[in-house]
Amino acid sequence: MIRMEEKLKTKMLEGSDRYLLMINGKVEDGSKPLIDPKALGNGEVKIIHIVNENTKIKLRVEGGAKASITEIFYEVGPNVNVETDFEAEAGACVDYFSFKNNQTGGNAGFACEMRLEKDANLTSRNLVIGQGQMNFSQNIYLQGKNARLEMKNVIINSSSKIHDYRFFITHKAEQTVSQMTNFGICNRLSKLNIATDGIIVKGAKGTDLKQKNKGLILDEKSVIAASPWLEINEHDCLASHGASIGAIDDDELYYLMSRGLTREQSEKLIVGGFMNPLLSEVPEGKLRQYLLEWIDASI
């Protein structure tokens, strides 16, 4: 274990980082299947996961607490399913960043349920890279009045396989706000399906739901499909969705090349720019470097 910690410190942890190393949903010694919310306290924590069997993870942020959680799936074994149960109690304010990486080429399933209570505020960022088959579903319930969700997901599929992503956002209470933007990148003859379901239940007055899917296809045969679904059962609400999917714009490429950048450099810059709304929020440091190396290897 010491060797693993040293490895992580070299790769992605700064000296001052508070972190938990979890193996199959349990903290190091196997004694704590549930992270004590007090361990999160009002500060920042990095959770590093090593998963090689089906695993359930539970995260709960206490009412009124402020937490910044960075969750890195460092190793994910083949053919495993990871289920996460996340709860932000009333008034909790959470910055959540997750990096999920299926490196093995086997199947990986990630299912996550998130519940936001009254006045809870969640800023969620997901970076997902899959080398193998990937199924991903995230179910988010805004179940307390004034709960707010702001979510950006960067999804890269360079596996030559089909990846299915499904995001359900359900507004169950009044004055709830959700804003989700997905940035999908697909190459190497892969297919990326992104389904986004937005549901506003009857009585959830004054809600505001926004969904946007952006896709960048890097070869001639890959496919990105966005399937939005809005189910609106309340008159007093705002709801919208939009999608834009395409290849790199020839004129953008020409513009960058006309300044001396090679085609490869220009494409890299454009792809980097595409992901920048999320990546610009990751502070400079080892973790950012670690993520960029993975992105570089998959594009």
Partner 1 sequence: MRTLEIKNLHSNAEDTEILKGVDLTIKTGEVHAIMGPNGTGKSTLAATIMGHYRYHVTEGSMTLDGEDLLSMSVDERSRKGIFLALQYPNEITGISNSDFIKTAMQARLGEGQRLSLFKFIKEIEKAVADLKMRTDLPHRYLNEGFSGGEKKRNEILQMKMLKPSFAILDEIDSGLDVDALKIVGENINAMRGENFGALVITHYQRLLDYIDVDYVHIMMNGRIVRTGGKDLIAKIDAEGYDWLKAELNLADEEEERVTAILGTCAFKTPKE
Site string for partner 1, 262-291 (x = CB under 8 A): xx-xx--xx-xxxxxx--------------
State the nearest-atom distance from the C-beta of 296 to partner 1, in Å.
15
Phi, psi of 161 (to 5 degrees): -125, 180
Q: Closer to partner 1 at the Cβ: 233 or 262?
A: 262
Give the footprint of partner 1 on residues 129-158 (CB under 8 A). none
State the nearest-atom distance from the C-beta of 279 to partner 1, in Å.
9
Contact 181, 209 (CB under 8 A): no
Q: Closer to partner 1 at the Cβ: 37 or 273?
A: 273
Q: Closer to partner 1 at the Cβ: 117 or 267?
A: 267
State the nearest-atom distance from the C-beta of 250 to partner 1, in Å.
6
Site string for partner 1, 210-249 (x = CB under 8 A): ---------------------------------------x
State the nearest-atom distance from the C-beta of 191 to partner 1, in Å.
24
State the nearest-atom distance from the C-beta of 266 to partner 1, in Å.
8
Q: With CB under 8 A, what is the number of residues at the site for partner 1?
A: 24
State the nearest-atom distance from the C-beta of 55 to partner 1, in Å.
34
Question: Which parts of this chain interact with partner 1 (CB under 8 A)?
Answer: 249-252, 254-263, 265-266, 269-270, 272-277
